Each structure stands twice: as C-alpha cells, then as structure tokens.
C-alpha cells in the first residue's frame, strides 16, 4: 500500500511539473495565445516591415530615437507603459507629433499571467486612458510585458477591442552594435515586426545600432513603418497569425 501511495505521489508530482513547464512554454511562445488572436508578422509582398519600440517613454529614449527616425524617413510604433505616460505625457505627445504610433504596453509593466480578469481590464484601460489624454490613443494595439500572455489576457484584450501584437524578430544578445544590426537586418523580410528597446540606460547597444539597422533595411529594399501602416497595407492581413521566423533572439521573452 505504501508503495502504491509513493508511486501515486511521484506520478502526480511529475504531471504537475510537466504542466508547469508546459504552461511556461505556452506563456513565452511568440505566436500563440490561449483563447485569443495574436499577430507576430503579416503575410505581404509589399517591401515593408514594422519597427516597434517597447517601454517608456523616457527622455533618454525619445531624445535618442526620434531624430534618427526622422533622418531616415522611418515611422514606428511605440508600445508605452501607462504609468510612464502619466508621468511624462509630453514625451508621448512628442512621439505622436513626430508621426509615430502609440500602443498599449500595460500600466505597470508586470507579467500579465495568473491574474483576475478585472486586473487585466484595469491595466489595459488605464493605459488606454493615459494614451488618449496624451493625444495618442486609438491605435487599437497591445503588446504584453515580457511577452507573457496565458489564459485571461487574450480575453481581456478582446474585450477592450485591441489587437495583441508580438514580433517575429527579437533583439540579438550581442552588445556590439554592428553585429546587432546585421542580425536584425538579415532576419527581416516583408511583413516582419521588429522589436527594439531603446528607452533606458542599459539599451545603448540598440540605440547605437538603430541607424545601422535603418541603413541596412534600406539597402535590402525594405521600408520601416508602424504596425498600423503595415497592417493596412498587407492584403487580408488583419488578425493574421504566422509562425515566427528563425531569427535573432528566438526563444527569448521580450521585456
């Protein structure tokens, strides 16, 4: 009897561990969400890619990125954190005034998993309200912090009428700007969604690589635009989900 109990306990432990591992893998999968739609790239022949930035806004990131985008004639989508927008709405207004798109990146930038429904709703709604007050609401786009999106969050984004946007090209792990840029450009193809982080002091590599990326995309015949622009241009692309391309940062969860 004791042996049977021990076997049962061990079996339950193994099943529980496998379930936890499985849920963790699902939560970090770039192009899959339980109970909801997700976009990680668009199927299009147009020579366009979506350039996206996460986090902030911060003076450091905005001051560094906007002039580079302007010089290259590039537009982008900035997924901003609601609390940061409330602290510095002027920065969100600057991004919008420069012709870029603002997206929802939650209010507190916590991992959005295993939470009650009203918490998800609040995180999304408070950020939408902050973006609207800053003059940048209405894009209808949401990106989950750290890429975490288990059951609950997809339903909340659907209730809010938002499209969950991930990416098929994440950031390389290198700290060498030229190598960083080469990996991003090499992986880019029509319809790709690129992720960069440039808002904080630790993101210097991305800031240094940005002009190299833009030059490389141009040489490759690709034009960086916002997610909204890419979505509008892609034939029948709204809501399209595609398996991620093999590219830099595969398997990593975006901050």
Which residues participate in catalysis according to the annotation? 54, 197
d(CA 118, CA 152): 10
What three-state secondary structure class fits 169?
A: strand
Distances (CA, A) of 157 to 60, 162, 173, 238, 244: 30, 5, 30, 15, 21
Distances (CA, A) of 156 to 27, 120, 140, 163: 15, 6, 13, 11
Alpha helix positions (H), the chain: 2-28, 59-72, 82-87, 89-97, 117-133, 153-159, 177-187, 204-219, 227-233
């Amino acid at each position: 009897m004791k042996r049977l109990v021990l076997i049962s306990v061990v079996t339950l432990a193994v099943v529980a561990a496998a379930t936890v591992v499985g849920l963790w893998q699902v939560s970090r999968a770039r192009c899959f969400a339980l109970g909801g739609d997700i976009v990680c790239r668009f199927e299009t022949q147009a020579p366009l890619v979506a350039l996206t930035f996460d986090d902030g806004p911060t003076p450091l990131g905005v001051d560094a990125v906007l002039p580079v985008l302007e010089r290259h004639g590039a537009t982008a989508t900035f997924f901003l954190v609601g609390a940061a927008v409330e602290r510095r709405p002027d920065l969100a207004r600057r991004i919008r005034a420069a012709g870029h798109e603002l997206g929802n990146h939650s209010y507190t930038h916590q991992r959005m998993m295993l939470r009650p429904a009203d918490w998800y709703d609040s995180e999304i709604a408070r950020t939408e309200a902050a973006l609207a007050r800053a003059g940048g609401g209405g894009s209808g786009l949401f990106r989950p912090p750290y890429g975490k999106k288990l059951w609950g969050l997809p339903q909340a984004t659907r209730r809010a009428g938002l499209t969950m946007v991930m990416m098929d090209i994440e950031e390389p792990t290198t700290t060498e700007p030229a190598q960083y840029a080469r990996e991003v450009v090499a992986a880019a193809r029509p319809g790709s969604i690129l992720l960069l982080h440039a808002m904080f002091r630790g993101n210097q590599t991305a800031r240094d690589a940005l002009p190299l990326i833009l030059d490389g995309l141009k040489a490759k015949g690709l034009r960086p635009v916002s997610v909204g622009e890419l979505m509008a241009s892609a034939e029948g692309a709204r809501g399209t989900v595609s398996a991620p391309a093999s590219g830099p940062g595969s398997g990593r969860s975006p901050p």
